[in-house]
Amino acid sequence: MDKNSVPVIAIDGPSASGKGTVAKQVSEKLGFHYLDSGSLYRLVALVATHTGVHLSDEKGLSNIAQNLNVTFKGKEIWLGGEDVADIIRTEKCGNRASKVATYLQVRKALLDRQRAFRQSPGLVAEGRDMCSVVFPDAALKIFLFASVETRTERRYKQLMEKGVDVNIESILQDIRERDARDSSRSVAPLKQGIDSSFIDTTLLSISESVSEILRRYTEICAKNI
């Protein structure tokens, strides 16, 4: 099968909209591969911290992006000899990733790596610019939205379940700051593309969001027969 004819479902949306969980479940239901593109930016931020590369050093950061020695194995993310899946999920690493992601050279360095995930029988790719830059020919493009209050509650519950002691006010502030930074940046800002399909998950459960995406995808497949 020609790589470009492998179907892609691209999912974007604001931080903590649940797009990671939803995208993963959609990929499992369809038996598709899964790309969590945010993890790549998080990995660059982590390596920068470990190697003392400053978050203002675009060249140093793009070098890291180019040479990331990473292997994805199910839930594990191996960076060299260490599984860093949990370390990169911290709020601190997410914040650093959102700074790293503002550099065009870093984004360019990660482009081929992301496109390599497009493998038969299909791919669900989640994150900023999946719909516009990385997979502009995706079969289905989704913008997954939820109100800032709902996203704060979801993130709070998620962290509490993990046993992380957190303050809900600081999560709200963090999400607001990340939204502002992600929406106002000049490179790949957070916004819904004109060809993306909007889903408001504020009042939807995860499984309802997953079903809605599967319904829209089935509709598209039926039209293309």
Residue 157 or 223 with smaller CB distance to ligand C5P: 157
Query: Least distance in Å: CB of 61 to ligand C5P?
Result: 13
33 lies in the site for ligand C5P, by CB under 6 A: no
HSE-up of residue 61 (Cα within 13 Å, Cβ side): 27
13 lies in the site for ligand C5P, by CB under 6 A: no
Residue 104 or 221 with smaller CB distance to ligand C5P: 104
Query: Least distance in Å: CB of 56 to ligand C5P?
Result: 16
> Binders of ligand C5P among 134-193, rule CB under 6 A?
178, 182, 188
Q: What angle do CA 167, 177, 204 make, to 5 degrees?
A: 70
Binding range to ligand C5P, per CB under 6 A, among 54-62, 122-130, 159-167, 199-207:
122-130
3-state class (DSSP) for residue 77: strand
Residues that bind ligand C5P (CB under 6 A): 15, 37-38, 41-42, 94, 97-98, 101, 127-130, 178, 182, 188
